[in-house]
Homo-oligomer: A and B are copies of this chain.
Amino acid sequence: VGVAVSAIEPALELYRDRFELVVAHREVVQEQGVEALLLDVGENHVELLAPLGEDTPVGRFLAKQGPGLHHIAYQVEDIEATLEKLKEAGMELIDEHPRRGIRGSLVAFMHPRSSGGVLTEIVQPAGAGSGH
């Protein structure tokens, strides 16, 4: 689950110090215009997203609706095959082709219009995939 925050440090105080979640990873992802921080929740993550500037997707999200839940991401084994399947199922894609995400992953977003108002992402971790 991606959570949009204005800045990482105060969010860390909330999630790490009060909620006592463990920080798994921190990275500036230029391609997405964010500084991202992964916190472990079981085998899944909460991902804090702070914008690198106002004219970024998360910057515009914050300007429009303030901090809060931003998107949900599902891990897939083969992002190209999954994108193909979603397209065939009539899903509207923001990314027809995968882009680079956190930790060397490949990511693609679906449009909230076709996913019940939820910005939905698929993620293929680095090292996975069928070698397309």
Contacts and interface: CB of A to CB of B under 8 A. Distances in A.
Contacts of A42: 42-44, 75
B46 A44 contact: no
A19 B117 contact: no
This chain: copies in complex: 2
Interface string A21-55: 00000000000000000000111101000000000
A105 B125 CA distance: 33
A5 interface: yes
A83 to B, nearest CB: 13
Interface residues of A, number: 30
B1 A72 contact: yes
Nearest to A43: B42
B67 A116 contact: yes
Contact of A44 (B4, B5, B41): B41
Given A18-B89, A18-B91, A68-B117, 16 more contacts: A1-B1, A1-B72, A3-B118, A4-B117, A5-B116, A14-B115, A42-B44, A42-B75, A43-B43, A43-B44, A44-B44, A67-B117, A67-B118, A68-B112, A68-B118, A69-B118
